Chains A and B, each alone.
Chain A
Amino acid sequence: MMTNLFSVFDPSAIFNFSLNWLSTFLGLLMIPSIYWLMPSRYNIMWNSILLTLHKEFKTLLGPSGHNGSTFIFISLFSLILFNNFMGLFPYIFTSTSHLTLTLSLALPLWLCFMLYGWINHTQHMFAHLVPQGTPAILMPFMVCIETISNIIRPGTLAVRLTANMIAGHLLLTLLGNTGPSMSYILVTFLLMAQIALLVLESAVAMIQSYVFAVLSTLYSSEVN
């Protein structure tokens, strides 16, 4: 029963444990492990995805990036991707629709970048507060704006992902709940609309995980 519009996202408890959070681990089962010596097609596909992402993030990090620093962002991408995507299936809890997960990924990452940047490249970080070509009158404002944008980054990163997931699931549930009181002709249209929405949501699931990874890559490239 829908007691509240947002009750589809309620973490439900079984035997007093919130076992629904275990759906975060689902991705671990989906990633092909290398227990088997012969690579399957799925294995090859996953490896090519990782390699493509590695090349993509390497160009984003630029020449000053350290070797292998794309790895953490690729893992971040895969974690969020599987959480987003598996959440679209019925009876699977979407962990990424909660700020707890997104913030616990975004906040430590941002904190690490900030600490690294301000300790190791203090001059560089101060220089970033005023972008190139700023008129002298605007400089105090630019410092304020850049400082604020620096501070709210983990929040925006987390809220962007969460809001996208919530919006998609809400749309699907709201449309689906109108089904029982509809005539048969309208239900066919509803079904078509739901399928179209589901396709859109699966696209959003992939795009948002990519956006999260790319933005955190960009933030990391800014501090060194």
Chain B
Amino acid sequence: MPQMAPISWLLLFIIFSITFILFCSINYYSYMPNSPKSNELKNINLNSMNWKW
């Protein structure tokens, strides 16, 4: 069974640790920017004469 075989375990351990750190860092920087909403936009009168839209 290859799952149990000790084929270059130390190297793989280092690789997986690096992968984990990479995942951590990519998740750390992901955030949701909240865009400020303008109050003036609500007052725009959308009385368009365009029949289509």
Query: Could you tell me which A residues sit within 8 Å of B by CB distance?
Result: 6-7, 9-11, 18, 21, 24-25, 27-28, 31-34, 37, 39, 43-44, 46-47, 50, 71-72, 74-76, 78-79, 95, 97-101, 104-105, 108, 162, 166
Determine the chain B residues whose CB is within 8 A of the CB of A108 once the complex forms: 17
Chain B 23-53, CB within 8 Å of chain A: the 1/0 string? 1101111111100000000000000000000
Out of B12, B23, B28, B33, name the residue touching A79 (CB < 8 Å).
B23
Cβ-closest chain B residue relative to A74: B27
Cβ-closest chain A residue relative to B22: A28
Bound-state Cα–Cα, A97 to B5, Å: 13
Min C-beta distance of A99 to chain B, whole Å: 5
Bound-state Cα–Cα, A33 to B29, Å: 8
Contact B29 A34 (CB under 8 A): yes
Determine the chain B residues whose CB is within 8 A of the CB of A98 once the complex forms: 2-3
Contact A78 B3 (CB under 8 A): no
Cβ-closest chain B residue relative to A82: B23
Q: What is the predominant secondary structure among interface residues of chain B facing chain A?
A: helix
Q: Which of B3-30 contact A (CB under 8 A)?
A: 3-4, 7-9, 12-13, 15-17, 19-20, 22-24, 26-30
Contact A105 B9 (CB under 8 A): no
Bound-state Cα–Cα, A31 to B23, Å: 9
Contact A21 B15 (CB under 8 A): yes
Cβ-closest chain A residue relative to B16: A104
Min C-beta distance of A15 to chain B, whole Å: 15
What are 16 sample pairs from A and B whose C-beta atoms fall under 8 A apart? Answer: A6-B2, A6-B3, A9-B1, A18-B7, A27-B23, A71-B27, A71-B28, A75-B23, A76-B20, A78-B23, A79-B23, A98-B2, A100-B9, A100-B12, A100-B13, A101-B16
Out of B4, B12, B26, B32, name the residue touching A104 (CB < 8 Å).
B12
Those 3 A-B pairs whose CB atoms lie nearest each other, nearest first: A75-B24, A104-B13, A79-B23
Determine the chain A residues whose CB is within 8 A of the CB of B19 once the complex forms: 24-25, 28, 79
Contact B31 A47 (CB under 8 A): yes
Cβ-closest chain A residue relative to B20: A79
Q: A9-B2, A98-B2 are in contact. Are A75 and B20 (CB under 8 A)?
A: yes
Determine the chain B residues whose CB is within 8 A of the CB of A32 once the complex forms: 30
Determine the chain B residues whose CB is within 8 A of the CB of A39 once the complex forms: 32-33
